[in-house]
Amino acid sequence: MNTKNLVLSSLFAAITAIASQISIPIQPVPITFQVLAVALAGALLGKKYGFISQIVFLLIGAIGIPVFAGFKGGFNVIVGPTGGYLLAYPIATYIIGYFSEKKGIINISIGMLFGLIVIYLTGMIQLKFILNLSLKKAFMAGVAPFVILDLIKLVIASFVVDTILKRTNTFQNA
């Protein structure tokens, strides 16, 4: 691990924290730009450093620094109704990074789609158990309202990443 990768991992932890605050507070899961940050971290940093960036984000939030949506922090957020989405971020970045290391916008897009599915599944399952919802109600509350907007974010992220990777050697996948 070199200084450049540590700095980039920290930068993407910070980007995820900032993206968390750009939100529309609907219940039980707010609309945020975290999915965009997770997709960018995985695709630009690769599986290892994208994963590390999201672990850093979770650890910072778990100790109480208000990096989660609505300027919340603390372990209670991670074990709360929306914590499953947060816990999925390192796994999603790893998956996205794995596919993006194969190069090309198609691989990047496939990785982002699989990463989003992991975020949705993990988030929906925790939402179901914490709020004692049926699987259908958890899907309707925690996935359905977000699909179209999240897919738009992933399309944007795919093109941004593809353009950046073609023009720079700064990132892991360049």
CATH code, 68: 1.10.1760.20
What's the number of domains the chain is made of?
1
- Domain for residue 132, yes or no? yes
pTM for this predicted structure: 0.92
Q: Structural domain of residue 83, as residue ranges?
A: 3-158
pLDDT at 162: 83
pLDDT at 174: 43
- Domain for residue 128, yes or no? yes
- Domain for residue 164, yes or no? no
- Domain for residue 169, yes or no? no
Q: What is the pLDDT along the chain (174 residues), one digit of tens a residue?
A: 789 989 999 999 999 999 999 888 777 777 889 999 999 999 999 999 999 999 999 999 999 999 999 899 999 999 999 999 999 999 999 999 999 988 788 999 999 999 999 999 999 999 999 999 999 999 999 999 999 999 999 999 998 998 888 888 767 654
- Domain for residue 68, yes or no? yes
Location of structure tokens 């989405």: 85
Location of structure tokens 């023009």: 167
- Domain for residue 173, yes or no? no
% helix, strand, coil for the chain, step of 5: 75, 0, 25
